[in-house]
């Protein structure tokens, strides 16, 4: 019996070494997305938890149990510097995320590796100043502690491309102000997120260190103050091609060919593999035909599935 169990464990499928996955949108589990899931990407991101996303969750985790799933929940509430950050952080979990967490089955909850905190500063102060970063850290610590009590693991930060902004000294000060949030996430077995977009398909690591690879600058700032926290897992919770965020004009569909996009992604993947804490990147996006047509990946997903398939051990 023991030999049979060991053999089964040895034969269990493992996700790809390719670091590229997909960010789903609009509760659409498309034909292309199904083929990608079958290829075994390292990470997927689900936007809300409608029937399509729950089907994708089940398909992915039953086929690839060692894969990583991130969930983001849409909401419209906003907070500012005048609000109490600890109360706001607890409310974020208790009033926005927890109701979605609680309606899942026990098995579905076990399949979700990380629950995202606020996205790109669209609901809270974040990186405009050191004061903003301190407020965001206090918010995040309270959110993480509330999540931890309910057995959920956090994904903090979700930092917009090009942020934190400012001079190197200003960036370092903002990162230092946010370190308590990194520490709380580490205690909760969490992760952090950055949004990694290229503006012009550059394959110059120095140039891309300001955009798609800017997480390296953040990590350097963390490492100088708290090298232990630099080991926190990192997921690039949005990635791809963008210029200024226009949903109809600035994505890969409008600003390059599939060949150009694939060449850049192969380079990007090779860079991500150099950084051991990077779990993977979820390309934006699959399913947003009407909402984000310039970023829609459906026509590209067969190529991506092939790239992911090439990365199996």
CATH assignment of the domain containing 31: 3.20.20.80
Number of domains the chain contains: 1
d(CA 186, CA 253): 38
- Residue 6, in any domain of the structure: no
- Residue 123, in any domain of the structure: yes
d(CA 71, CA 175): 24
Comparing C-alpha atoms, which of 127, 139, 122 is closest to residue 82? 139
- Residue 22, in any domain of the structure: yes
Structure tokens at 238: 């949005």
Q: How confident is the model at residue 8 (pLDDT cuts 50, 70, 90)?
A: very low
- Residue 140, in any domain of the structure: yes
- Residue 227, in any domain of the structure: yes
pLDDT at 10 over 70: no
d(CA 214, CA 203): 14
pLDDT at 313: 75
Domain span at 58:
16-310
- Residue 103, in any domain of the structure: yes
Q: Are 180 and 221 in contact (CB under 8 A)?
A: no
- Residue 139, in any domain of the structure: yes
pLDDT at 7: 42
- Residue 270, in any domain of the structure: yes
User: What global pTM score does this model have?
Assistant: 0.95
pLDDT at 3: 47
pLDDT in tens, 47-90: 999 999 999 999 999 999 999 999 999 999 999 999 999 999 99
């Amino acid at each position: 019996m023991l030999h049979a169990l060991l053999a089964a464990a040895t034969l269990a499928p493992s996700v790809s070494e390719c670091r590229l996955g997909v960010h789903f949108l609009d509760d659409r589990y498309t034909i292309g997305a199904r083929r990608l899931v079958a290829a075994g990407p390292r990470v997927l991101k689900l936007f809300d938890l409608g029937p399509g996303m729950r089907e994708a969750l089940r398909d992915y985790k039953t086929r690839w149990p060692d894969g990583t799933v991130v969930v983001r929940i849409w909401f419209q509430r906003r907070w500012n510097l005048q609000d109490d950050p600890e109360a706001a952080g607890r409310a974020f979990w208790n009033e926005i995320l927890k109701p979605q967490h609680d309606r899942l089955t026990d098995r579905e909850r076990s399949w979700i590796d990380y629950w995202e905190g606020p996205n790109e500063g669209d609901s809270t102060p974040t990186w405009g100043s050191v004061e903003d970063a301190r407020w965001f850290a206090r918010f995040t610590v309270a959110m993480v502690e509330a999540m931890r009590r309910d057995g959920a693991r956090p994904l903090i930060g979700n930092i917009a491309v090009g942020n934190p902004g400012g001079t190197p000294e200003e960036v370092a000060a903002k990162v230092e102000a946010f370190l308590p949030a990194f520490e709380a996430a580490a205690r909760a077995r969490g992760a952090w997120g950055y949004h990694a977009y290229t503006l012009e398909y550059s394959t110059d690591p120095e140039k891309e260190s300001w955009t798609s690879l800017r997480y390296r600058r953040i990590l350097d700032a963390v490492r100088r103050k708290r090298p232990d926290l630099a080991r926190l897992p990192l997921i690039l919770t949005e990635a791809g091609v963008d210029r200024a965020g226009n949903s109809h004009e600035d994505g890969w569909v409008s600003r390059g060919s599939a060949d150009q996009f694939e060449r850049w992604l192969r380079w990007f993947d090779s860079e991500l593999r150099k950084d051991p804490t990077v779990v993977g990147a979820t390309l934006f996006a699959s399913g947003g035909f009407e909402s984000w047509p310039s970023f829609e990946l459906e026509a590209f997903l067969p190529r991506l599935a092939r790239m992911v398939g090439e990365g199996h051990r």
